[in-house]
Amino acid sequence: MPNFGGYQNELYGAALSGVLPKVPVDYATLVARAEAAMPPYVLNYVQGGCGDETTQNRNRSAFDQWGMVPRMMVDASERDLSIDLFGMTLPTPLFMCPIGVTGICTQDGHGDIAAAQAAAATGIPLCASTLANDPLEDVLKASGETPGLFQLYTPRDPDLAASLVGRAEAAGYKAIVVTLDTWVTGWRPRDLNSGNFPQLRGHVLENYFVDPVFLKLLGKPVAGNLPEAIGLWSRLFGKVLTWDDMAWLKSLTKLPIVLKGICHGDDARRAVDAGADGIYCSNHGGRQANGGIAAIDLLPDVVAGSGDLPVLFDLGIRSGSDVVKALALGATAVGVGRPYSYGLALDGAAGAAHVLKCILAEADLMMAVNGYPSIAAVRAEGARRLG
């Protein structure tokens, strides 16, 4: 089995030759370096949340209220971190979350390709966003042998929705992740104060601008007609989805349908009844609605309501210990968001891969030290709420 914790030995070995990590291994220093490197309009969009960002901050701080109990005299010299997801056997439970401005996190404007290259280098799948600077087909191709998921912002035009999903299926993505909570944009003061909405300036819209249905609706080339293309995108973005739409969504593809934004156990049960293939517990990083409960605190109820369906989770993950805690509370797969975007900003694909390897190494070593040789052992022990 892979020894992911061995990455620390690589770093120590390189240091003996005078080579220190180009990208920091700890989150606090990573953030500080990224803040100095990223343009303000990109940084504000990546870091910003809704309202006074209370929910966003709770997503992170709530992890400190959960703890793991080590078990001794257990042979954890080898750890099995593999998971089964939608018919795939993946080497780790990690995936890269869809981030709508990944494309502009690198200086060359091809951050989506760089994230996919990080997926190829690490074996950690990318959940590619509809909002991208490169076509979804090119993004998956850059992922090499590592499978990918495609996140859908469902457009109001059903033919355009069918086209996006059909393209993702034809390209070879393994599941369609349907975001439920972004048919309208939440109140984001950081972006409002700076007048910053990248899409309205033509960024990360390439999946629309190359789509045959979108181009037919536009009735003219995008080149030379960018304001009209942006206006059409704005009018088409954001279909309000209800449970009645599940049959239509499932009719679009043979791929598994994962519902992203589920935070209530009853909604998880309804998703099961409606034929969903996976549940994605997420409050959009606190970017869409403020005043909510931290997602990690909602995860156990969502897992209980999901039955046998896999549960993806992605809020507030900053370290390997966070990953282990989410697994202990029942997550099948755990998404990393802002950390890899900072890695992209500092060193492109190599920077993102380094960040992911650091998080994975810490998770692996935590399991080793705590006597958890497998994810099943982590779940059996569970996480305990402090106090």
Q: What is the pLDDT of residues 215-274, one digit of tens each?
A: 999 999 999 999 999 999 999 999 999 999 999 999 999 999 999 999 999 999 999 999
Closest CA to 86 of 144, 138, 142, 150: 150
Whether the CB-CB separation of 367 and 79 falls below 8 Å is answered with yes
Distance CA 162, CA 278 (A): 20
Place of tokens 């998971």: 83
Read off the pLDDT of residues 117-163 as tens digits, 9 standing for 90 and up. 999 999 999 999 999 999 999 999 999 999 999 999 999 999 999 99
Distance CA 68, CA 324 (A): 9
Closest CA to 57 of 264, 261, 282, 286: 286
Residue 286 is labelled as binding a ligand: no
pLDDT at 99 over 80: yes
SS3 assignment, position 180: coil
Q: What is the model's pTM?
A: 0.96
pLDDT at residue 345, rounded to an integer: 97
Read off the pLDDT of residues 323-374 as tens digits, 9 standing for 90 and up. 999 999 999 999 999 999 999 999 999 999 999 999 999 999 999 999 999 9
Selecting among 110, 203, 284, 354, the annotated active-site residue is 284
pLDDT band, very low/low/confident/very high, at 284 (cuts 50, 70, 90): confident
Which residues partner with 176 through β-bridges?
150, 257
Q: CA angle at residue 177 from 173 to 183, to 5 degrees?
A: 135
pLDDT at residue 119, rounded to an integer: 98
Residue 203 is labelled as binding a ligand: no
Burial of residue 20 (CB within 10 Å: 0-12, 13-18, 19+) is exposed
**AA identity, residue 270:** R
pLDDT band, very low/low/confident/very high, at 84 (cuts 50, 70, 90): very high
Q: Assess whether 203 carries a catalytic annotation.
A: no
3-state DSSP helix/strand/coil percent for the chain, to nearest 5? Answer: 50, 10, 40
Closest CA to 203 of 104, 123, 282: 104
**AA identity, residue 14:** A
Tell me the two tokens of residue 205: 């819209």
Whether the CB-CB separation of 5 and 361 falls below 8 Å is answered with yes
Closest CA to 261 of 158, 173, 184: 184
CB burial readout 56-73, b (16+ within 10 A) else e: bebbbebbeebebeeeee
Residue 278 is labelled as binding a ligand: no
Residue 172 is labelled as binding a ligand: no
pLDDT band, very low/low/confident/very high, at 53 (cuts 50, 70, 90): confident
Residue 151 is labelled as binding a ligand: yes
Residue 129 is labelled as binding a ligand: yes
